[in-house]
Structure 1
Amino acid sequence: MSRKIRVDAVLVQAVIAGALSFAHLHDIAVAAGQDGWKAWAYPVSVDLLLVAAWRRLRILRAAGEPARAAWTWFAVALTASLGANVATAGLLDLNNVPAWLRILVAGWPALAFLGGTLLVHTPATAPVPVSNAEPAADIVLTRDTST
């Protein structure tokens, strides 16, 4: 039995777009003063937050629950990704990065950690409140006085 390998154009496009976006995020991190493994960790962090937010969105939608927080973190990660793509298009002098961008890049790990933690550890449904009151008795005991 032979299997044909079918190239999916959308998948190829996604790989190309992902690789370019990854490189742009890396370039911004390097320009903002991060080097070595740290510069490579930034694109991973941005992309993982994007994926985690999208996954959370799908879970909340399937459960019919509000997804405002997940949308917020998705928008934050998408803004970081798009911002890096646009900034490396020649609109930003990568040899003279403004202080505000250095601050954003330096603060990204804490922001991404906060977002990822909230996405993962917020329950999909509201927990049932636990009461300290004694439970009501289901069985009523009576004494038989007929004899």
Structure 2
Amino acid sequence: MTRSIRPDAVLVQAVIAGALSFAHLHDLAAAAGQAGWKAWAYPISVDLLLVAAWRRLRSDGPSRLAWCWFLVALVASLGANVATAGFLDLADPPALLRLGVAGWPALAFLGGTLLAHSASPDHAGDRVPVPPAPATPVPAPDIEPEPASVPEPVPAADDTPALPVADSVPAPAVPVPAALVDHARKVAADHQSRTGKPIDTDTLRARLGVPPHLADAIAAQLA
């Protein structure tokens, strides 16, 4: 779809201001000893650095890097406009002006490189690291265990005496420190004096803060 170009006052004003600034930068560079195409390259370099810094500010938001190079380009453009208004003798420019014009290409190259290839420091901390997706557990196959084969008893010979059946081995007693037993007696006595009933194992375990098997062992010694 073709859009018709309509004259705009702001656009006309921008073209006029850009043309005047371009001419002032060209005249200043020519007065500083840059003849021929070099004098025309200086205003292009200044305007491109100004546009690159402004675009960085518009796209990535305010940052000290973009503001720094925007002000550098703005000072270079504004300084050329003021210098060509009669404040300096362009027929015999000062040595400081020649030094600034000669060093501008390196400065503009540095600014353009930093604006194009550096990340915005203000937004570097906004990136939230995405945690890796948890691994999906693989269910174990349902395998029924095979019943263990029980060997048949071998009949003993007639002359072999029968072995006695071993009694069941009692579980080893849990060692209880004597100090803990004394403290448990005090707790049990206090509970009985307040309630009139002997303390049970669950209440004793809760009052002492010990595991169940240790509470059973203490209760057995208090019985």
TM range, normalised to the smaller chain? Answer: 0.7 to 0.9
- Deviation readout 1:1-59 (Å, 9 max, x if unpaired): xx875311111010000000000000000000000000000000000000000000111
Match of 1:82 among 72, 78, 84: 78
Q: Does 73-82 or 119-128 show the bigger shift?
A: 119-128
Kindly indicate whether residue 119 of structure 2 is the aligned counterpart of residue 119 of structure 1.
no
Gaps of 5+ in 1: 129-134
Deviation at 1:126, TM superposition (A): 3.1
Residue 24 (structure 1) aligns with: 24
Q: Calculate the aligned-residue CA RMSD, in Å.
A: 2.7
Output the TM-score relative to the length of structure 1. 0.81
Aligned length: 136
Deviation digits for residues 94-116 of structure 1 (CA, Å, limit 9, x no counterpart): 01100011000000000000000
CA-to-partner distance for each residue in 1:64-108, whole Å, 9 max, x for gaps?
xx5111000000000000000000000010011000110000000
Q: What TM-score, normalized to structure 2?
A: 0.54
- CA distance in structure 2 between the partners assigned to 1:19 and 1:9 by the alignment: 15
**Identical amino acids, percent of aligned pairs:** 71
Structure 2 unaligned runs (5+)?
145-223
CA distance in 1, matches of 2:47, 2:65: 17
Bigger CA radius of gyration: 2
Whole-Å separation in 2 of the counterparts to 1:76 and 1:10? 25
Shift of 1:138: 4.6
The structure with more helix, counted as a fraction of residues: 1
